[in-house]
Amino acid sequence: MMNSMEKGTESLGRDWLLTYPAELRQALRRVARQVGKPMYVAGGAVRDWLLGSAAWDLDFTVPSGAVACARELARVLGGAFVLLDADEDVARVVWHGLTLDFSGFRNRTITIEDDLRQRDFTINAMAVLFDPERGRLAPGLTLVDPLGGVADLSGGTLRATAAANLLTDPLRLLRAYRFMATLGFAIEEQTAGVIIGHAPLLRKPAPERVRHELDLLMASSGAHAAIMLMAQHGSLEVLFPELASGRGLAQPASHHLDVLGHSIEALACMEKILAYPGRYFPGQDDAFSGDDRGKNARLLKWAALFHDLGKPEVHRLIDDRITFYNHDQAGAELFAAIARRLRWPTDDRERVARLIALHMWPFHLSNARRRHRGISRRACLRLVRAADTDLSALFALAMADSLAGQGVDKPPGMEADLAALFAEVREVYQAHIQPVLAGPPLVNGHDLIDVFSLEPGPVFKEILEGLLAAQVEGQVTDRAGALSWVRTFLADRAGETSESDCLLDKERA
């Protein structure tokens, strides 16, 4: 943080507006002079500046006429104007990657101090005056800080401005966890009490708003700590009752935690894997180069948290043995329902659901590899085709799952086996699968119609996928061999059908 904060002064210390385009500053100057009212930069931008970070979202506050200010700024800059709430005097301008929000003083307040007291947390309840004569922040860069936001920012404390302010918009209860995750701050005790006491209100905000806050939380490096606290507070159960049903559900002795605890621990392990993939997959760092950033990391963390979502539904006791058969498929379906509830984009929903559905595959293949001292190219091909572009993501999920289970009956060397399997699958892919997939097909659907007089149907997929596997295994290398393979396949199939018909006739007789 800045030295000025350490000294306890209330000066911004630097005119951050000078880091933004001169065109923006001149346009703001023109609008501020035209409106003839004080204009302040407030909220998150001031917080971020005090933390030494540039802000892409700027929040401007005026006593009144905020919508008119935004409309005029959009006209001057040529930006996009968005009316957010005419009754509350709130509008937005989007220009060159910047989001410029304008709002009038809240709840008919008449001073900037009273407006700031209406905000959510003290660290967001600070402002600095804009100087319309110079097109810069006001001389002295003096902060308006009526609630001690500077002190809380310096102390890493997230404190509500007032309990009533959190309840005015229940999304603010969730926003507390988001700021905890993104800033690494601790939620102050009384603020935590308000959140715990009113957690059921989290059902009220629009799903899109909830998803946005949760995505920001999950994209941060502190997602696990925030989710863990949400579970302790009861907030996680409100948002995801499907997850909460795993609380207290015991697992086999290969696990040391119940289903819910294991799911949250898997999220913690995923954060570690994303931060240092080479530590868990030696020599394979390059495979994860894109998984630790942006949406990839966020979706992988969601997959880790929800990977065992289906266990409560399929839980059975068979001869006093705990089983969770097909929990991967059940979990994928449950997650898809959650994602639809939160209005997730279709691509993201399907990607995470696929990872959940496949997360046991690396374990099954690893067991087979151990038994047979290797794996076939065909087995690698099936896995690669199923995972598509998420092969590394799938192994990261399996690794997080394995690390999160440390019970006394856990087979030794499971993580090392997963890493070795991933290395082998990648080697087979690069040497044998990728060259085949990259080249033109030796036989296609038209050939099956023209050469073999087949009618389009499910058999086409069976033939083409079987031929692809034969190419990967080196059994077929050219078109002549491919045609011969298809003839043999069809002959064998006809023989099987004939034999089946004979058996049926005997049964009828």
Q: In this structure, what CATH number is given to the domain that contains residue 14?
A: 3.30.460.10
Would you state the pLDDT for residue 158? Answer: 98
How far is it, in rounded angstroms, from Cα 251 to Cα 321? 10
Regarding whether 194 and 309 lie in a shared domain, the answer is no
pLDDT in tens, 20-35: 999 999 999 999 999 9
At residue 275, the pLDDT reads: 94
Q: What is the DSSP string of 310-349?
A: THHHH-EEETTEEE-TTHHHHHHHHHHHHHHHTT--HHHH
The answer as to whether 306 is a domain residue is: yes
Same domain, 228 and 282: no
**Is 340 a residue whose pLDDT tops 80?**
yes
Tell me, yes or no, whether 244 lies in a domain: no
pLDDT value of position 379:
96
Strand partners, 128: 41, 143
Q: Which of 182, 171, 272 is nearest to 220 (CA)?
A: 182
For residues 321-330, average pLDDT: 94
**Is residue 265 in a domain?**
no
Q: Name the pTM for this structure.
A: 0.91
Same domain, 167 and 98: no
| Residue range of the domain that includes 487 | 445-508
Q: Which residues contact 496 (CB under 8 A, 6 or more apart)?
A: none
Confidence class for position 3, pLDDT limits 50, 70, 90: very low
- Name the percent of the chain lying above pLDDT 70: 95
Q: Which amino acid is at 168?
A: T
Could you give phi then psi for residue 120, rounded to 5 degrees?
-80, -55
Among residues 104, 129, 155, the one where a domain terminates is: 155
Type and span of the H or E element at 3: helix 3-6
Tell whether 20 and 86 lie within a shared domain.
yes
Q: What does the CA dihedral 476, 479, 485, 490 come to, rounded to 10 degrees?
A: 150
Residue 503: pLDDT above 70? no
Instruction: Give Rg (Cα) of the chain.
Output: 30
User: Any idea which residue has 């001869």 for tokens?
Assistant: 319
Closest CA to 397 of 350, 363, 433: 363
pLDDT of 270 reads: 98
Q: Give the CATH number for residue 226.
A: 1.10.110.30
Q: Does 174 lie in the same domain as 277?
A: no
Q: Do residue 380 and residue 452 come from a single domain?
A: no
pLDDT band at 497 (very low <50, low <70, confident <90, very high): low
Residues 42 and 131 occupy one common structural domain: yes
The answer on pLDDT for 279 being more than 70 is: yes
Last residue of a domain, one of 155, 181, 199: 155
Q: Measured in whole angstroms, how far is the alpha carbon of residue 295 from the centre of its chain?
A: 6
In a domain, 408, yes or no: yes
Chain mean position to CA 378: 32
Tell me if 204 sits within 8 A of 241, measured CB to CB.
Answer: no
Return all residues near 388 (Cβ < 8 A) that are at least 6 apart. 354
Q: Assess whether 283 and 421 both reside in one domain.
A: yes
C-beta neighbour count of 14 within 10 angstroms: 15
Tell me, what DSSP letter sits at residue 138?
P
- Of 438, 471, 492, the one marking the end of a domain is 438
Band (pLDDT 50/70/90 cuts) for residue 500 is low
Residue 484 inside a domain? The answer is yes
Contact at 8 Å (CB) between 299 and 392? no
Which positions ≥6 away from 441 have C-beta within 8 Å? 464
pLDDT confidence tier of residue 456, bands split at 50, 70 and 90: very high
Tokens linked to 482: 């491919």
Strand-pair partners of 81: 93
Count of the separate structural domains present in the chain? 4
Q: What is the mean pLDDT of residues 327-335?
A: 97
Question: DSSP character for 61?
Answer: E
- For 423-451, write each residue's pLDDT tens digit: 999 999 999 999 999 999 999 999 999 99
338 inside domain: yes
Residue 405 shares a structural domain with residue 310: yes
Local confidence band at 502 (pLDDT 50, 70, 90 cut-offs): low
Could you report the per-residue pLDDT of 173-228, keeping only the tens digit for each?
999 999 999 999 999 999 999 999 999 999 999 999 999 999 999 999 999 999 99
Q: State whether 40 and 148 are in the same domain.
A: yes
- Per residue in 137-178, pLDDT (tens digit) is 999 999 999 999 999 999 999 999 999 999 999 999 999 999
Q: For residue range 79-130, what is the model confidence (pLDDT) as tens digits? A: 999 999 999 999 999 999 999 999 999 998 999 999 999 999 999 999 999 9
Q: Is 135 a residue whose pLDDT tops 70?
A: yes
What does the pLDDT average to over 389-416? Answer: 96
Cβ neighbors of 344 (< 8 A, separation 6 or more) are: 211
Residue 440 DSSP code: P
Residue 480 covered by a domain: yes
Q: Do 396 and 287 belong together in one domain?
A: yes
**Predicted pLDDT at 10:** 76
263 near 307, Cβ under 8 Å? yes
Number of Cβ within 10 Å of residue 112's Cβ equals 20
157 in helix, strand or coil? strand
Residue 484 has what pLDDT? 96
Query: Confidence band (pLDDT; 50, 70, 90) for 505?
Result: low
CA distance 109 to 59: 17
The reported pLDDT for the residue numbered 5 is: 41
Q: In whole angstroms, give the CA distance from residue 262 to residue 231.
A: 12
The chain-wide mean pLDDT, for the chain, equals 93
Is 69 inside any structural domain? yes
Specify the pLDDT at position 507.
Answer: 52
**In the predicted model, is pLDDT for residue 334 greater than 80?**
yes
pLDDT of 39 above 60 = yes
Lowest mean pLDDT across 209-223, 285-299, 472-486: 285-299
User: Is there a single domain that holds both residue 127 and residue 199?
Assistant: no
- The whole-angstrom separation of Cα 22 and Cα 18 is 8
DSSP 400: H
